Chains A and B, each alone.
Chain A
Amino acid sequence: MTSQSTTGREVRPRPRVQITQRTLRRDTWWVQPLVTFVVLLGFVVYSTWAAFVNKDYFYEPYLSPFYSPCLGSTCPESVRWAGVVLPAFITPAVVILIVPLGFRLTCYYYRKAYYRSFWQSPPGCAVTEPHTKYSGERRFPLILQNIHRYFFYLGLLLNIVLTYDAVIAFRDRHGNWGHVGLGTLVLLVNAALLWLYSVSCHACRHAVGGRLNHFSKHPVRYWFWTQVSKLNARHGQIAWFSLVWVALSDLFVRLTATGTIPYIQFF
């Protein structure tokens, strides 16, 4: 009797269909990874430069989100965080950016984006990838993706600080409340987008209720879970918006500080 597999068929190794083309897709599947590649690369280049220049990141009352909280000894006095003093050769941004960088690098959405566009694993669906070996997220370093939730919690702290910055921007250059400038709005939107990004995170979705199995026994957490789930469905879009906006916020402060654009005040 021939040996049986669960299908009742004989077990013998068999080849796949021999088709040599890498893909038979005829649509423009390569556009999306290309755009992702360009935008992400642009962001990386800009933020690296911005993190190292260590100047023009503050223009009373606006502090660039890249440099907040301002921990270095080089920080202007009105925004310097007491107690924490970094050696002068490390810019505040380099330290702070570890949190958003780690958060976004381990984000489920960005992982998809850069695995596809940078690592080409896979470049597109039903398009053969260029690697001969693949072990996924099972080994070091990629197994570290699993610490995403710790970055999520750190990210929340950072959101609080950046929200504080946005609130502070309601004071004018002399410390009087009631001021609203273009920068106030920029920082406010920045904080809002970052909150949206955090709240729509998969780790958040899991923590508020996703980990439960019997929703009806936890009506409050279920409600939160449904709300987070709605946002979570747009997490990818929020990720892009917030990313671009953070960079624009920094750029805005920079341009204001260097006097390239005038200081605009509404109230």
Chain B
Amino acid sequence: MSYEATFKVWRGNADGGAFQDYTVAVNEGEVVLDIIHRIQATQAGDLAVRWNCKAGKCGSCSAEVNGRPRLMCMTRMSTFTEQETVTVNPIRTFPIIKDLVTDVSYNYEKAAQIQAFTPPADVKPGEFRMQQVDVERSQEFRKCIECYLCQNVCHVIRDHEENKPKFAGPRFLMRIAELEMHPYDTADRRKLAQEDFGLGFCNITKCCTEVCPENIHITDNALIPMKERVVDTKYDPLGFLWRKFKSPDSKRSRG
């Protein structure tokens, strides 16, 4: 059940590059990453590619296959016909290093800017009491394997490089939502989400959700609820007054 497939793989670095054609064997059950590895082992020893787990768990092998942002290790060859040329290029939103490897430091910089989980000072390790329902929402976001495919596909920065300093991208806005919804987090992250991390750039067009290999409902469960929370504090004077009147608005008392 083996056949010869045609691959177009982008090769090059910051100085330029182009798609190169490879004819390579494909066996039953293989994924795109297997084929890239076969090219590497037999035809192009210096072909640069990131990978670790080969099971969709580490988020290293992100690339664009036939123009779609994908994990190469989770893209089965059986989704293509034997005649089809398979195009593989590095993700386009981040600077190129070499071949299929890009410089994803943007993401690490954004991650570092987010205030860490901030529990109340009087709760000691071992004293946290949360029900499953209290943690489930944030647990969904913590499934994130940091493949950065959502960051790559988000048009806010994919099509507008100049927005990068002001926009943290879906992955990190989701991280803020995750902390914001944590029952024990005491920081109020709503204004920061809007002002420093650029939640307002997001126009909820859901490409991040479409490409997420972990099937996290980024837009519906993180970004939109976060937008609603921002409205609570910034754009809803009536609601704000009403809640002020009911209970002083500290985060813990927000329940």
Contacts and interface: CB of A to CB of B under 8 A. Distances in A.
Given A137-B203, A213-B255, A215-B133, A6 B105 contact: yes
Interface in B122-137: 130-131, 133-134
A214 B124 CA distance: 18
Interface in A13-36: 13-19, 23-27
A68 interface: no
B203 A16 contact: no
A138 interface: yes
Contacts of A137: 200-203
Interface string B230-249: 11101110110000000000
Contacts of B251: 213
A147 interface: yes
Contacts of A5: 105, 108-109
The main secondary structure of chain A at its interface with chain B is loop
B205 A126 contact: no
B109 A136 contact: no
B4 interface: no
B74 interface: no
Nearest to B159: A129
Interface stretch (B21-29, B33-41, B51-59, B65-73): B65-73
Contacts of A216: 130-131, 133-134
Q: Contact residue range for chain A?
A: 35 or more
A70 to B, nearest CB: 28
Contacts of B89: 17, 19, 24
A143 interface: yes
Contacts of B156: 134, 136
B220 A233 contact: yes
Contact of A149 (B90, B158, B198, B231): B231
B235 to A, nearest CB: 4
B210 interface: yes
Given A16-B95, A149-B231, A213-B183, A133 B160 contact: yes
A9 B103 contact: yes
Given A135-B201, A138-B200, A24 B87 contact: yes
Contacts of B102: 16-17
- Most chain B Cβ neighbours within 10 Å, of A19, A111, A203: A19
Contacts of A128: 158-159
A121 B103 contact: no
Contacts of A212: 254-255
B8 to A, nearest CB: 9
Contacts of B182: 213
Interface residues of B, number: 70
B189 to A, nearest CB: 11
Nearest to A139: B200
A125 B239 contact: no
B153 interface: yes
Contacts of B232: 211
Nearest to B112: A6
Contacts of A23: 67
- Most chain B Cβ neighbours within 10 Å, of A121, A126, A202: A126
B105 A24 contact: no
B191 interface: no
A115 B207 CA distance: 12
Contacts of A6: 105, 108-109, 111-112
A206 interface: yes
Interface in A79-121: 108, 111-112, 115-116, 121
B225 A206 contact: yes
B212 to A, nearest CB: 11
Contacts of B155: 121-122, 129, 134
Given A16-B96, A24-B87, A215 B134 contact: yes
Contacts of A126: 64, 67-69, 92, 153, 158, 207, 211
Interface string A198-233: 000011011000111111111000100000000011
21 contacts: A5-B108, A6-B108, A6-B111, A17-B92, A17-B96, A25-B67, A26-B67, A108-B227, A112-B205, A125-B68, A131-B159, A143-B235, A146-B235, A148-B231, A202-B228, A203-B228, A213-B251, A214-B183, A216-B134, A217-B255, A232-B220
Q: Which 8 A-B pairs have the closest CB atoms?
A: A24-B67, A25-B67, A136-B201, A14-B95, A138-B200, A125-B207, A206-B228, A216-B131
Given A115-B204, A213-B134, 12 more contacts: A7-B108, A14-B103, A16-B92, A16-B95, A16-B96, A17-B17, A122-B207, A125-B153, A137-B200, A147-B235, A213-B183, A214-B130
Interface of A: 5-7, 9, 13-19, 23-27, 108, 111-112, 115-116, 121-122, 125-126, 128-129, 131, 133-138, 142-143, 146-150, 202-203, 205-206, 210-218, 222, 232-233
